[in-house]
Structure 1
Amino acid sequence: MKVTIDDLWLKNDDDGNPPSRAAKRSLANSRDPMKANVPEKWRKSRYGVGMRWRCHWTIVKDGRRVQRVKQFARLAEAQEYAAAMEDDIRRGRYRDPRQELRVLDDVAGEWLASKVDLKPGTAGRYARELRLYILPKWGGMTLRELRPDMLQEWVGQLMDGGYPAALPDGRDSKPLSARSIRNIMKVVLKGIFDYAVSNGWIGENPVDRVTVPKIVSDDDMVFLSVREVELLADEAERIGKPVDGLLVRWQAYTGCRIGESLALKVGDVDADKRRARIGRTWTDDGHGGSMLGTPKNGKARNIAIPRFLMPQIKAQMDGMGDDDWLFRATRGGNVWTNTWRTRIWNKAVKAAGMEDAGVTIHSLRHTYASFAIAQGADVKTLQMQLGHSSPSITLNTYTALWPERLDDVADAIGALRERELV
C-alpha cells in the first residue's frame, strides 16, 4: 500500500506542461501565495487556500476500500508523514488518524463499560474519579491533544489544589494525597489510554511518561502502643457498649480490616481452635451504599485469635445462631462502618486525646502488624493473617518495622562453623 502526496495548489497547464522552476521558486519564497509570480495556467481552483499538500491512501475496512487523507502546509512534513505511514503499513502498525480525534469523555465511557470483571466498589471508585477529577479537566479533549507535559502539569495542580473539579456542594478543590493522585493518574487515566492503545486508536500511552508523587507509607501509618489501644477500647466501651471496646481490641490484636470484622458471623468463629474464617467483607456497592463481597484479595483466609480475647468473643457468641452477626447492633442487625465511625470511633479518639495524631480505624490494623513483627512474625505468617495477596505487599508495606539482624546472622554462622569443626 502506497501513500500518495498531492499538490493542492499547482497543476499542469492545458498542454500538460508542469509549472516552471521559476514559478515554484517564487511560490516557495513568497509569504503570500497570491503575490507569487505564478501564472494562472498553473493555478488550481483552490490555489492559496488552506494547506498545500495532501497525503492520501486506501485501507480496507469491513470488506470495503476506504480512502484516507491528511493535509500539511509544508512538503517536508507530508513526505515525513508518508514515509512513516508506509513503514507502519509494512509492519502492521497502521492506525486510522481519525481515531485520534475521539473525545476522552467517550473513550472513558467505553473503557469503564468494558471492565466487567471489577467489583462494584472498584467500578464505583473509578466512576467517581472520572466524574469528579478527570472529565472536568480533560473530558472534551481528543486523544491526540493530550500530551505528557500537559498531564504532568496537572499532577502539580492535584498536589497544590485549585484544579477544576466537580465536587459536591460546590466545594473548592484541595490538595490530594499521593495515593489519590496515583490512583487517578496511573490507574484510571492510564487504563483509559491503555484501552485506546489496545484498540489501535493511538500509538503510545502519554501517561507512561508522567511522574506522580511517591507514596511514603510511613507518612500514612500510625502505630499505637498497647496502652493506647486499651485506652481507645475503654473509651469506645464507655461511649457505647462492651461490644464497641471489643471491636477496637479485635482489630488491633488480629489485624482485621473494619469491613471484614463487621461482616463476621458467629458461625465463622471456631472457639476451640481460636480461629476465625474471613470469607466476606462490607464493600462499596458503587452507588454510595454497602454490600457484602469477597475480601480485598478475593480469597478467604483463617486468622488466629489471641487467647485473652476468647472470653469476650465467647460471650458475644453465647445463645446466638451461626448466621447471627458477631459484632451486632442492639437489635441484632449488622453494624455499618460509617455509623460506627461517627457514633463511637471518632468520639473515642477525641476522648483519648488523639484527635490530632492522625489515628484512623485502619491504624488498628497497622498496629497489629507492628506488634506481630516485634514479636518475631515472619513475612509469610503476617501476610496470611492480614490477607495480603502476596508476601511482597506485606514486606513493602511494613519493611521498616523488621529489625536489622545482620549481626545475629553473622554470629549464628560463626556458631555453626564452630559446631561443625568440633
Structure 2
Amino acid sequence: MASIAKRPNGKWRARYRDVAGREHARHFGRRVDAQRWIDEESASIVTGQYVDPKSRKVTVDEWCDVWIQGYGSRRASSVRQANVHLARIRQEFGPLPLVAVQPSMVRNWLARLGSEGLSASYLFALHSRLSQVMRDAVLDRKVSANPCSRRTSPGAGKQRAYVATEAQLWALYELAAAKYQPALLLGAFVGLRVGEACGLRPADVDLAARTITPAVQYPALPLKTAMSGETVPIPDSLVSVLKPLCVGRAHLLVDEEGEQVGPWQIEREMRRIRGKVATLPEGFRFHDLRHFYASLLIASGADVKVVQHRLRHGSAKTTLDTYGHLWPDSDESTRTAVERVMNGKIISLADSVRTEGASE
C-alpha cells in the first residue's frame, strides 16, 4: 500500500509499506518526485529486488564482518584463506555501501591488481571471493544484484601442471632424507596430498588388499572433500615399503623422535632437494608429484573417470581442466574407429555402381 499527501508546509509526503509491513516515508518538494519514488520502490517490491533503506547503508566492511562469522564453521585453513581475500576486498571497497559497488569498479580493481603483477589465478580467486560475499548479500536482501559476473571475471588462467620425468622423480627420491622418502612415494604413486600423507595412519593401509584409504589430513583434520576418502590401489613394491612403517607407530611418516611429520617439514625438504635436480622448475612442490601420478595413469590408457577417482577429484571437470592436455591426440583413433566400420563397404558399393553403369 502506498500514498502521497500534501503537508501543511507545502511538502509532499510519500509513504509505502514493505514486504514485512514496515512503513517508510519521505518528503519531496514536488508531487512528481514523490510519485517517482513510490513507483520505484513499489516496482522493486513486485520484482523481488527490494532492499530495505537501512540495509542500503550497510558498508562492505560491515557486511564482511557479518559474512566471515557465518563462514567460520569451515576448516581453519579455509577461514584463513578467506580472511586474506577479505583484507584485499576491504582495502578497495571497505568504506563503500554494498549498493555502491558497481561492475565497472570490480573490473578496474582487478585490472589494477593485474598490472601490479598478481597472478591470473590469484585474481580469479579474489573475484570468486567477492562474488561469494556479494551473492550472500543478495540472499540477505542487502543488495538487489551481484556486481560480479562473467563479464567482470578475469579468468582462471591457463597454467599447466608440470610433470616430472621418471629420472627427475628418482633423483628427488635419492636426494631426500630417509624419513621423507616414503612421503615422495605416497605423492608420486598414490597421489596423496601433503596433508593426507602426513595424516596417514597404519589403519588407513590395508596391506592384504593392497589399498590405501585416506581418512584424515594433518594433524587429524577432516579431508578436503568427501571424495578425498576414496580407496586407492597400490602395487606390491609399495606394499613392501609401507609394511614396516605400519608397525609400532601412530602415523606412517614420523621424525627421529617418533612424532608425526608436518607438511611444512616435507615442503622444506622439497625446497632443499629440488634445486639439485637438473631442469626441475624452481617452484616444484610436493603437490606436483600428484601430476606425475596422473601422467602415469593417463599414459597407461586410463580414462578420465578412472583418473578422477584415483586422484579423488570432486568432479571429472576438475580432472579434465588440469590434465586434459596429457591425453593423447585422438585423431588417429577416430580414423581407426570409422575405418573399421567403413572398410570394404565403400569399395563394394563403388564396384556395384560401375557394374550397373557398364550394363547400361
Note whether the superposition's TM-score is higher than 0.5. yes
Alignment of 1:315 onto 2:271: no
Tell me the distance in 2 between the aligned counterparts of 1:90 and 1:62.
Answer: 13
Alignment of 1:280 onto 2:216: yes
* Secondary structure class of the residue paired with 2:25: strand
Tell me the distance in 1 between the aligned counterparts of 2:57 and 2:71.
Answer: 23
Q: Is the 8 A contact 1:5 1:79 kept in 2?
A: no
Equivalent position of 1:35 in the other structure: none
Equivalent position of 1:84 in the other structure: 40
1:148-163 alignment runs, 5 A limit: 148-161=103-116
* Secondary structure class of the residue paired with 1:4: strand
Tell me the distance in 2 between the aligned counterparts of 1:345 and 1:150.
Answer: 41
Equivalent position of 1:345 in the other structure: 270
User: CA 1:272–1:54 in structure 2 vs 1: closer, same or farther (change >3 Å)?
Assistant: farther
User: CA 1:213–1:91 in structure 2 vs 1: closer, same or farther (change >3 Å)?
Assistant: closer
User: CA 1:234–1:160 in structure 2 vs 1: closer, same or farther (change >3 Å)?
Assistant: same
Give the counterpart letter for 2:264 in structure 1: N
User: CA 1:142–1:71 in structure 2 vs 1: closer, same or farther (change >3 Å)?
Assistant: farther
Alignment of 1:379 onto 2:337: no
User: CA 1:75–1:368 in structure 2 vs 1: closer, same or farther (change >3 Å)?
Assistant: farther
**Which runs of 5 or more residues in structure 1 are unaligned?**
12-52, 162-174, 283-290
Equivalent position of 1:95 in the other structure: 51
Query: TM-score, with normalisation over the residues of structure 2?
Result: 0.85
1:7-406 alignment runs, 5 A limit: 11=10, 56-59=14-17, 65-69=22-26, 79-91=35-47, 93-115=49-71, 118-131=74-87, 133-161=88-116, 175-186=117-128, 188-208=129-149, 210-217=151-158, 219-236=159-176, 240-241=177-178, 243-282=179-218, 291-299=219-227, 300-317=229-246, 319-320=247-248, 324-342=250-268, 344-354=269-279, 356-406=281-331
Q: Is the 8 A contact 2:5 2:14 kept in 1?
A: yes
Give 1:98 shift: 3.2
User: CA 1:345–1:100 in structure 2 vs 1: closer, same or farther (change >3 Å)?
Assistant: same
The number of equivalent residue pairs is 346
Tell me the distance in 1 between the aligned counterparts of 2:187 and 2:42.
Answer: 62
User: CA 1:357–1:90 in structure 2 vs 1: closer, same or farther (change >3 Å)?
Assistant: closer
Identity %: 23
Query: TM-score, with normalisation over the residues of structure 1?
Result: 0.73
Give 1:88 shift: 2.7
> RMSD in angstroms over aligned alpha carbons?
3.0
Q: Which stretch shows the higher mean deviation, 201-210 or 380-389?
A: 201-210
Tell me the distance in 2 between the aligned counterparts of 1:416 and 1:180.
Answer: 49
Q: Is the 8 A contact 1:56 1:68 kept in 2?
A: yes
Give 1:378 shift: 0.8
Give 1:78 shift: 5.6
* Secondary structure class of the residue paired with 2:96: coil
* Secondary structure class of the residue paired with 1:325: coil
Give the counterpart letter for 2:331 in structure 1: L
Tell me the distance in 2 between the aligned counterparts of 1:209 and 1:312.
Answer: 49
Q: Is the 8 A contact 1:151 1:210 kept in 2?
A: no
Q: Is the 8 A contact 1:266 1:326 kept in 2?
A: yes
